[in-house]
Amino acid sequence: PYTLVIELTDVLLHPEWSLVTGWRFKKRPGIDNLFQQLAPLYEIVIFTSETGMTAFPLIDSVDPHGFISYRLFRDATRYMGGHHVKDISCLNREPSKVVVVDCKKEAFRLQPFNGLALKKWDGNSDDRTLFDLSAFLKSEPGGGGGTTFGR
């Protein structure tokens, strides 16, 4: 099977802060569809530049059905040139079968042909990117990496 490595912040969730509520995270439209459609085809891995303490409860809240196989946090990234970089060579997976989805191209710069760069989500409720992404990844197993998606 293929492995889908996906960032949490600004790809699946958008952080919002207010004086009244403090930090809150908004779910991107299509997140449930993405997991349901791709879980039979991909091993889904959240690999985020957030700390585990922040991300663990967020992942629990967006994945009540257990579609996510593994969770990797900031401590599993490499800090290079001011960016948290995801090195998929550490995943013990066939690199040609790994797709990395992030809104920062720097995050997959060690393996650029494995990456799909999404537009950073700003919290817009009309966003359709995850619906389009799930349709694309279903039709193109492996994702045709190295491209910019949803811009």
Is 8 inside any structural domain?
yes
Residue, of 18 and 47, whose pLDDT is higher: 47
How high is the pLDDT of residue 143? 60
Average the pLDDT over 13-35 and give the result. 93
Residue 145 lies in a domain: no
In a domain, 148, yes or no: no
Instruction: Report if residue 53 sits inside a domain.
Output: yes
CB 127 within 8 A of CB 121: yes
| DSSP-based three-state secondary structure for 139 | helix
Residue-level pLDDT at 151: 40
Answer yes or no: is pLDDT of 46 > 80. Answer: yes
Query: CA-to-CA distance for 90 and 111, rounded, in angstroms?
Result: 12
Q: How many domains does the chain have?
A: 1
Beta bridge partner(s), residue 78: 85
Helix (H, G, I), strand (E, B) or coil at 104: coil
70 in any annotated domain = yes
Residue 144 domain flag: no
Tokens found for residue 23: 């930090």
Domain that holds residue 72: 2-139
59-112 pLDDT per residue, tens:
999 999 999 999 999 999 999 999 999 999 999 999 999 999 999 999 999 999
To 5 degrees, how large is the angle CA 138–CA 139–CA 143?
75
Helix or strand or coil: residue 109?
coil
Question: In this structure, what CATH number is given to the domain that contains residue 106?
Answer: 3.40.50.1000
Confirm whether 149 is domain-assigned.
no
Residue 13 in domain: yes
Q: Can you give the pLDDT at residue 1? A: 84
